[in-house]
């Protein structure tokens, strides 16, 4: 029987008409790239949460053991695309009203071979056995199990103040240059490694939650807030002789974002965390993590005006000039400006943008917040001063900026840049409506990059370089290198630096990601991310010469991903 390669999958031609015949299998907007599949289909900590099996008489029979195994597989491999309640996100909805009509045999085809819309070929790739494919086809016809809610009582049960504020140092008790400390995520060990950027020595390895997503610095620079995918937040006091945990809490069952109050008069007063599940955010005391206020994000979407039961909270940033948090809600496509002046009388401005909101950062002036709407291929620009949408800009396929990058373009003035998961371009957006009105809120230039699969890009006010990673590109030569542009001469294209080769580590994926500057802006740090049983490293490059400067290796440097310089994170320098 003939076979054909299709999106990297081998598909039997006899089954090709079935796979292509259903509009349900297609995405009316775009195909999903291999890079995005890798990114979206990450493990969810909800796989270990106890849930109730609701026996649906219309659905195929499943034993309790099969249901539990299938549920775990779903949350490990599918929930990132199809949603906790299977209502759909990047992937199509998989609710019983749809799946029962398709039937087990039909569903097995898609699970086994994948689809043109980008669903992985779980069966033919060897990820799932034939029995597993059959089991998953029956599972998605069952009533989706609902994870438990997580309210104030649940949070307080997990809340621990390890060192009360009154017993903490009244002044800095160490000799570290705190501005140049790096908080490095050790993804698979549930820790962060604090590295002294001056000496390149390890300060401490701090136990945290599962698969830390980000680290954020308080307005004063004293406290470091770290959040894992399991919604555990750790508060680290950098003034201690050896910086370490002083408080912790879980604010949900799955999460990605944490931030602190930065406005004058509110420095270090509040912290905020957003959850993937339950869909909500919580405001806490900044120095103890005591939960004070929980706000749900369930509501109507911006486009179809339909109710969505699980709008996940993506990125959150704190305004430097106003007592506001900018909260970005994925599935509804709404940006919330949350005024924390009085949390008992919370004032929230709801701004309609586009779906699905993800990550972003401030423009150069810190008046405008730029956030990616991944599946709409747009960047939303929010005027925080005026409390309104400044622009909705079309960019490339699946923008993923991290915080983005700000620099002065020789022709268009101040611009903010984003890379993309779905194509090779880097979009430059004008951000100065006063002095460059013709360029504002437009993609003024699209640079050609190495390829799709970019997660982060970065520059620095003291640098003339723009660094762009391609960590999720399927080509190893691309994922293991970095592209660097001369900001003053963008037309000449990029130079490729073999960062993974410079690391001198052994076998492994060696994906190069997340350029991060030191406080002086003369060094760029890169993560070399391999599997937890393989050697990883941090590679440091001289920003001016683009030459290797240093390699950090350590037995505990396991699966490093994000790195956050304390000063740059504190002041949103990118």
Question: 153 exposed, middle or buried (CB, 10 Å; 0-12, 13-18, 19+)?
Answer: exposed
Give the side-chain half-sphere CA count within 13 A for 491.
2
- C-beta separation of 366 from 262 below 8 A: no
Asked whether the bond before 222 is cis by omega within 30 degrees of 0, the reply is: no
Find the catalytic residue in 213, 400, 409, 420.
400
Total count of residues recorded for the chain = 574
Rounded CA-CA distance 4/446 in Å is: 34
Q: Is 81 a catalytic residue?
A: yes
- C-beta separation of 313 from 274 below 8 A: yes
Pairing of strands 254-260, 334-339: unpaired
Rounded CA-CA distance 91/220 in Å is: 41
In sequence order, what are the beta bridge partners of 430? Answer: 415, 440
Rounded CA-CA distance 182/203 in Å is: 10
Written as six digits, the tokens of 543 are: 């920003």
Rounded CA-CA distance 198/415 in Å is: 31
In sequence order, what are the beta bridge partners of 537? Answer: 528
CA distances from 475 to 122, 512, 525, 545 (A): 21, 12, 22, 27
Find the catalytic residue in 37, 62, 119, 136.
119
Rounded CA-CA distance 26/117 in Å is: 5
What 3 state SS string does 45-95 have? Answer: HHHHCCCCCCCCCCCCCCCHHHHHHHHHHHHHHCHHHHCCCCCCCCCCCCC
Q: Is 460 a catalytic residue?
A: no
- Around Cβ 552, how many Cβ atoms within 10 Å? 21
Q: Is 240 a catalytic residue?
A: no
Rounded CA-CA distance 123/268 in Å is: 50
Left, alpha or beta for 218 (phi > 0: left; psi -120 to 50: alpha)?
Answer: beta
Rounded CA-CA distance 469/481 in Å is: 7
Distance of CA 478 to the CA centre of its chain: 21
Smallest CA-to-CA distance from 105 within 181, 36, 15 is with 15
Find the catalytic residue in 62, 81, 284, 443.
81
Written as six digits, the tokens of 82 are: 């199809």
Left, alpha or beta for 467 (phi > 0: left; psi -120 to 50: alpha)?
Answer: beta
Smallest CA-to-CA distance from 328 within 381, 365, 289 is with 381
Q: Is 400 a catalytic residue?
A: yes
In the 8-state DSSP scheme, what is residue 230? T
Find the catalytic residue in 62, 78, 155, 443.
78
Find the catalytic residue in 308, 358, 409, 420.
358
Rounded CA-CA distance 313/470 in Å is: 25
Catalytic residues: 78, 81-82, 119, 358, 400
């Amino acid at each position: 029987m003939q076979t054909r390669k299709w999106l990297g999958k081998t598909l039997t031609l006899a089954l090709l008409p079935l796979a292509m015949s259903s509009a349900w299998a297609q995405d009316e907007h775009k195909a999903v790239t291999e890079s995005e599949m890798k990114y979206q289909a990450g493990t969810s900590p909800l796989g270990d949460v106890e849930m109730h099996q609701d026996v649906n008489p219309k659905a195929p029979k499943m034993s309790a053991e099969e249901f539990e195994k299938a549920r775990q597989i779903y949350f490990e491999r599918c929930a990132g695309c199809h949603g906790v309640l299977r209502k759909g996100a990047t992937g199509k909805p998989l609710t019983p009203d749809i799946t029962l009509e398709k039937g087990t045999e039909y569903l097995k085809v898609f699970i086994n071979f994948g689809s043109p819309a980008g669903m992985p070929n779980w069966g033919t790739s060897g990820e799932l056995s034939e029995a597993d494919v059959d089991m998953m086809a029956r599972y998605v016809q069952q009533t989706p199990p609902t994870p438990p809610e997580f309210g104030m009582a649940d949070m307080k049960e997990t809340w621990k103040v390890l060192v009360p504020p009154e017993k903490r140092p009244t002044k800095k008790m160490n000799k570290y240059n705190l501005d140049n400390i790096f908080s490095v995520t050790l993804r698979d060990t549930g820790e962060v490694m604090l590295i002294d950027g001056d000496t390149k020595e390890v300060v401490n390895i701090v136990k945290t939650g599962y698969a830390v997503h980000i680290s954020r610095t308080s307005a004063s620079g004293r406290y470091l807030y770290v959040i894992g995918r399991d919604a555990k937040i750790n508060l680290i006091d950098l003034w201690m002789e050896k910086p370490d945990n002083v408080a912790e809490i879980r604010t949900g069952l799955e999460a990605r974002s944490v931030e602190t109050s930065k406005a004058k008069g509110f420095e270090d007063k509040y912290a905020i965390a957003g959850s993937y599940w339950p869909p909500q955010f919580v405001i806490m005391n900044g120095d103890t993590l005591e939960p004070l206020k929980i706000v749900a994000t369930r509501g109507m979407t911006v486009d179809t005006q339909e109710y969505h039961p699980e709008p996940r909270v993506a990125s959150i940033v704190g305004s430097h000039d106003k007592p506001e948090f900018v909260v970005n809600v994925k599935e509804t496509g709404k940006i919330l400006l949350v005024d924390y002046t009085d949390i008992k009388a919370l004032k929230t401005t709801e701004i309609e943008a586009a779906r699905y909101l993800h990550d972003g950062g401030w423009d150069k002036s810190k008046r405008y917040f730029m956030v990616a709407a991944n599946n709409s291929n747009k960047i939303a620009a929010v005027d925080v001063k005026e409390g309104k949408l400044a622009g909705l800009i079309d960019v490339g396929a699946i923008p993923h900026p991290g915080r983005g990058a700000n620099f002065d373009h020789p022709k268009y003035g101040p611009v903010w840049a984003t890379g993309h998961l779905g194509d090779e371009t880097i979009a430059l957006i004008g951000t100065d409506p006063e002095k460059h009105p013709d360029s504002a809120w437009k993609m003024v230039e699209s640079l050609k990059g190495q390829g799709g699969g970019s997660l982060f890009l970065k520059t620095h006010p003291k640098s003339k370089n723009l660094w762009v990673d391609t960590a999720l590109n399927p080509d190893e030569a691309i994922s293991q290198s970095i592209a660097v542009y001369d900001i003053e001469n963008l037309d000449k294209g990029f130079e490729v630096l073999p960062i993974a080769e410079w690391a001198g580590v052994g076998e492994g994926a060696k994906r190069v990601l997340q350029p991060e500057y030191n406080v002086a802006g003369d060094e760029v740090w890169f993560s070399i991310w391999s599997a937890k049983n393989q050697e990883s490293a941090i590679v440091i490059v001289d920003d001016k010469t683009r030459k290797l400067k240093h390699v950090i290796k350590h037995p505990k440097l396991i699966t490093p991903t994000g790195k956050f310089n304390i000063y740059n994170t504190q002041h949103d320098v990118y």
